[in-house]
Amino acid sequence: MNFPSKLIEDAVTEISRLPGIGKKTALRLALHLLKQNEAVTEALALALSRMREEVKYCNTCHNISDQEECSICLSHRRDRSIICVVEDIRDVLAIENTNQYSGLFHVLGGVISPIQGIGPDDLKIESLTRRVEEGEVKEVILALSATMEGDTTSFYLSKRLKESGVKVSTIARGIPVGGELEFTDEVTLGRSILTRINYSQE
């Protein structure tokens, strides 16, 4: 594309660096901002640079925070004996939205992926074992994606945490609520039979 303005071209180039946004969408967004009041663009630019410069990560669980410790780790209402291990902050938000969990979190910052060159040392695993060794924790819930990388990471973590004697669990894999049996893939269906829940024990 031959842009009539270097300013537009620069903006389009920078916007299209974002994931999932191509040149055409970037141009649409830039022209939208031009049509709006100047304050809209100013607010966006300021919010972005402030976020990038000032955001902190919780020293304990590596969740995003405005202070040294995040609001979940500081809260007195949370059950400090359970840690839920997740891949990134979006998972924290997703689990918080369920209103089904009141323990603490630990954000790994990714999963083990040899293809992408991410090994255990690139993740916040050391600080997790340290938290577990401090003694207050009774259970670690592994809430990682049901992918090969997620399962590899879960397996690695469960081995690393074995010595500490803490209970290690993983979130259930099975048929999604509302899902129909005949449309569920074989692997999921097979697993859901193997890891069936005993009604009488429940």
Among 59, 68, 79, 96, binds a copy of itself (CB under 8 A): 96
Among 60, 63, 154, 170, binds a copy of itself (CB under 8 A): 63
Residue 47 interacting with a copy of itself (CB under 8 A): yes
Q: Which residues contact 112 (CB under 8 A, 6 or more apart)?
A: 118, 119, 120, 123, 149, 152, 153, 156
Q: How distant, in Å, are the alpha carbons of 86, 147, 172, 176 from that of 93? A: 10, 20, 19, 19
Residue 52 interacting with a copy of itself (CB under 8 A): yes
Q: Smallest distance from the beta carbon of 34 to a copy of itself, in angstroms?
A: 6
Residue 196 interacting with a copy of itself (CB under 8 A): no
- Residue 52 or 77: the one with the smaller Cβ distance to a copy of itself is 52
Q: Smallest distance from the beta carbon of 194 to a copy of itself, in angstroms?
A: 33
Among 22, 59, 68, 93, binds a copy of itself (CB under 8 A): 93
Q: Smallest distance from the beta carbon of 148 to a copy of itself, in angstroms?
A: 22
- Both tokens assigned to 54: 């000032």
- Residue 122 or 188: the one with the smaller Cβ distance to a copy of itself is 122
Interface residues with a copy of itself (CB under 8 A)?
1-8, 10-11, 13-15, 17-20, 25, 27-34, 38, 40-56, 63-66, 70-72, 88-90, 92-93, 96-97
